[in-house]
Amino acid sequence: MIEKIGVIGAGQMGSGIAQVCAVAGLSVIISDISADQLAKAVAGIGKNLDRQIAKGKLTEADKQAALARIGTGTSLSVFADSDLVIEAATESEDTKRQIFKALVPNLKPAALIATNTSSISITRLAASTDRPSKFMGMHFMNPVPVMQLVELIRGIATDDETFQAIKALTARLGKTAAVAEDFPAFIVNRILLPMINEAIYTLYEGVGGVEAIDTAMKLGANHPMGPLELADFIGLDTCLSIMQVLYEGLADSKYRPCPLLVKYVEAGWLGRKVGRGFYDYSGPTPRPTR
């Protein structure tokens, strides 16, 4: 039975995962190399819970109980008694492999490991640990507290016991599981990112401007957010890394990242998190940058 959860990475995804686990009654510990980032994550979780109280979804007592279940630390040794550790670090295979190599000496033998990767091979990541049978993908959607889906991905060595335990945990968190095979970008990003990349090609080739493309997809395809607005929300660096995983992993030219996406990333225009991407977020309303 999974009762103690470790989360690696106190960014948007890691803090969101920690929040839903704590609200579901699980004991959570978040680790990050930055103590400042950890403090920011816990403060952010508090604000998110306040919003849920305002909507009548939680009580003040629920909030205090959830926050009391969250601990933090800057060392991986904090995971010594965790039943499951979920890695939610940056979307870089090298970074994730280094984290797993450093993590495994700190775990008890029965501990499971999950990665929140949105595109990288689960089998390859599992091979960098001492327990490939106890390793799998648990891809939460952003923002975690709001989005209902978790993609569950087994590596070639993942055993059924691990899969069933993670599946049960997903249900306990109030999420819906979609089971995906271990192919580049799984289900959601295999479909979503080429659409975003195509929207960027549509901009690059001058078929339409930023606002025209987003309006067309919102009103013409009933999407809640236009593809360029969504790219800014995801982070253009993340979009590019997923397209590169698809392009390299499937060797099909239809997954070639748009040169304009590459240029925006080279310029450091990574989207909402830096205040500029396909939109400029410095004013009261976002303005298109093209």
Reply yes or no on whether 139 is catalytic.
yes
Q: Is the link from the previous residue into 224 a cis peptide, with omega within 30 of 0? A: no
pLDDT mean across residues, the chain = 97
Q: Which of 151, 197, 229, 241 is catalytic?
A: 151
In this prediction, residue 8 has a pLDDT band, given cuts at 50, 70 and 90, of very high
Residues with Cβ within 8 Å of residue 33, at least 6 apart in sequence: 74
Dist CA 238 CA 139 (whole Å): 14
Query: 207-249 pLDDT, tens per residue?
Result: 999 999 999 999 999 999 999 999 999 999 999 999 999 999 9
Taking alpha carbons only, the member of 82, 71, 63 closest to residue 6 is: 82
Query: 52-67 pLDDT, tens per residue?
Result: 999 999 999 999 999 9
Reply yes or no on whether 151 is catalytic.
yes
Measured at the alpha carbon of residue 256, what is the angle toward residues 245 and 190, in degrees to the nearest 5? 50
What DSSP element (H or E) covers 27? Answer: strand 27-31
The confidence score (pLDDT) of residue 172 equals: 98
Reply yes or no on whether 222 is catalytic.
no
The confidence score (pLDDT) of residue 93 equals: 94
The confidence score (pLDDT) of residue 169 equals: 98
CB 237 within 8 A of CB 193: no
pTM for this entry: 0.93
* pLDDT > 70 fraction of the chain, expressed in percent and rounded: 100
Dist CA 74 CA 246 (whole Å): 33
The confidence score (pLDDT) of residue 247 equals: 97
Q: Which of 31, 116, 189, 197 is catalytic?
A: 189
Q: Where are the alpha helices (DSSP H) in the chain?
A: 12-23, 35-54, 60-68, 93-103, 122-126, 160-172, 188-204, 210-220, 227-234, 236-250, 259-266
Reply yes or no on whether 223 is catalytic.
no
Query: 141-188 pLDDT, tens per residue?
Result: 999 999 999 999 999 999 999 999 999 999 999 999 999 999 999 999
The confidence score (pLDDT) of residue 5 equals: 98
Dist CA 269 CA 289 (whole Å): 10
Spacing of C-alpha 263 from chain mean position: 24
Q: CA separation (Å) from 97 to 51, 102, 129, 243, 247?
A: 36, 9, 8, 20, 21
- β-pairing verdict for 112-115 and 135-140: parallel
- Average pLDDT score over residue span 61-90: 97
User: What domains are defined for the chain?
Assistant: 4-180 (3.40.50.720), 188-288 (1.10.1040.10)
- DSSP secondary structure letter of residue 184: T
In this prediction, residue 130 has a pLDDT band, given cuts at 50, 70 and 90, of very high
Q: Which of 15, 119, 139, 197 is catalytic?
A: 139
